[in-house]
Structure 1
Amino acid sequence: MPVTTGKRADAQRNVAAILDAAAACLVRDPDASVSDIAAAAGVGRVTLYGHFASRTELVDAVFVRAVTRAHEALDAVDLTGDARQALARLVASSWQVIDESRMLLVAAQHTLPPERIRKLHENPMRRVRSLLERGRAAGVFRFDLPADWLVAVFYTVVHGAADEIGAGRLAAEAAADAITATLLAAFTPPGDPVPQVTATG
């Protein structure tokens, strides 16, 4: 039993090291090779393949971990009260999470099928959909467009901001307010004035 337990602990440490190294490598280069990742993790290719049968499986595991951590972090965001203020708070937290993991998303897009990436976003998208539905019920978000489309707009704008920051065309400190202003303009019912709500208070 002690030998088995020891081997299991070693395996867990190897997996953790591989995932950490893979995340770091993929952030630097979304097309990083298995050899690069194994070297960064301090393990051989044989050891890496003993835990992940293919590069695709490894990228999937890294992306699953990143999405799970992001979802857990966003669970702490207060989404009660006025839906527009809640949207601003969600943006203030979520854009940074997405910005930090944008290169992992690029790696996933290079490797995984689109339906897999969309499936992994289901939990975060449920959070946004719930907020949008609450705002629609209160009359502060538009209901003339499908909810699915509004959710897609949210993620498109946030990911777009992350890309603009990476390209140096948008200052990181201005991103949250820019995203919030853009989304409120898109979500406000036609004919209603767009509220001036900032993500930074």
Structure 2
Amino acid sequence: MTTRTDRPQRADARRNVEAILDAATATLARDPDASVNDIAKAAGVGRVTLYGHFENRGVLVAAVVARAMQDSEVSLRGVDLSGDPAAALVRLIEATWQVTLRYGALVVAAEKSLPAADLAAAHDEPRERVERLLGRGRDAGRFRADLPVSWLVTTMHTVTHAAATSVYAGELAADQGARAIAATMLGLLTPPGEVVPDLDALRAAG
């Protein structure tokens, strides 16, 4: 399904769309169960206006997630992934976590509202970035090679989303999220029989 914003729009309509997306992003970041009424009120528009641009809540959430992913990619493309693959992975996890915190519970809202296939498609570019890094780490002997890269990427994605959900549920402090994800992934990625790298040493090296 698509938004109704694909057709040419007047300037005031474009402003309404941006106001709705801004309000939806902020509202869903605080409360993933926020209603259309909540979002329309925050945007300063009526339900009729909102539905004139987004035919249902799911379409609106999809548009918010798509914009958030585009903004996130601008930040993540600048992460230095050169050098030691393990240290690079820690840098990528920390940068990804900062982006995740920026959008708060929007991650939870996306998981509740979007079909799994749509959610997976939104993460295509981040997945490719992680796949390249893991492949380089395997070639260098830093990461295990006995499990499929696709499974390892899926696990990292799942752990990151689990951390965001735990923060929203009050089970994990926000400033501990990146460390929890990095420690979990380093433990998983270290080749069998090898010593798991010291996380603090990797962070210092980065």
The answer to whether the superposition gives a TM-score over 0.5 is yes
> Which of 129, 139, 142 matches 1:140?
142
- Quote the offset at 1:176 in angstroms: 2.4
Residue by residue over 1:110-161, the C-alpha shift from the partner in whole angstroms, topping out at 9 and shown as x without a partner, is: 2221111111111111111110011011111111001111001211222222
* Bigger mean CA deviation after superposition, 49-58 or 86-95: 49-58
CA contact (8 A) 1:136 1:143 kept: yes
CA contact (8 A) 2:107 2:164 kept: no
Q: Which amino acid aligns with 1:159?
A: H
Q: Counterpart in 1 of 2:75?
A: 73
CA contact (8 A) 2:24 2:39 kept: yes
- 1:120 has 2:122 as partner: yes
Q: Counterpart in 1 of 2:39?
A: 37
Separation in 1, partners of 2:102, 2:95:
11
CA contact (8 A) 1:78 1:86 kept: yes
- What RMSD, in angstroms, separates the aligned Cα atoms of the two structures? 1.8
Separation in 2, partners of 1:174, 1:49:
39
Separation in 2, partners of 1:30, 1:171:
18
Separation in 2, partners of 1:24, 1:75:
24
Q: Counterpart in 2 of 1:159?
A: 161
Q: Counterpart in 2 of 1:10?
A: 12
Tell me the percent identity.
54
Q: Counterpart in 1 of 2:86?
A: 84
Separation in 1, partners of 2:36, 2:169:
27
Q: Counterpart in 2 of 1:3?
A: none
Corresponding residue SS for 2:11: helix
Q: Which amino acid aligns with 1:40?
A: A
CA contact (8 A) 1:91 1:179 kept: yes
> Which of 41, 52, 55 matches 2:54?
52
CA contact (8 A) 1:128 1:151 kept: yes
- 1:131 has 2:133 as partner: yes
Separation in 1, partners of 2:193, 2:65:
41
- Quote the offset at 1:200 in angstroms: 4.3
TM-score normalized with structure 1 length: 0.89
In structure 1, the gaps of 5 or more residues are 1-6
> Which of 62, 66, 70 matches 2:64?
62
Separation in 1, partners of 2:109, 2:160:
18
Separation in 1, partners of 2:161, 2:111:
13
Q: Counterpart in 1 of 2:6?
A: none
TM-score normalized with structure 2 length: 0.87
Q: Counterpart in 2 of 1:97?
A: 99
The alignment of Structure 1 onto Structure 2 pairs a total of residues equal to 195
- Quote the offset at 1:102 in angstroms: 4.6
Corresponding residue SS for 2:23: helix
CA contact (8 A) 1:176 1:200 kept: no
Residue by residue over 1:55-84, the C-alpha shift from the partner in whole angstroms, topping out at 9 and shown as x without a partner, is: 221111011111111122111110111101
Residue by residue over 1:13-56, the C-alpha shift from the partner in whole angstroms, topping out at 9 and shown as x without a partner, is: 11110001111222232222222211211112222122112222
CA contact (8 A) 2:82 2:88 kept: yes
- Quote the offset at 1:85 in angstroms: 0.8
In structure 2, the gaps of 5 or more residues are 1-8
CA contact (8 A) 1:99 1:159 kept: no
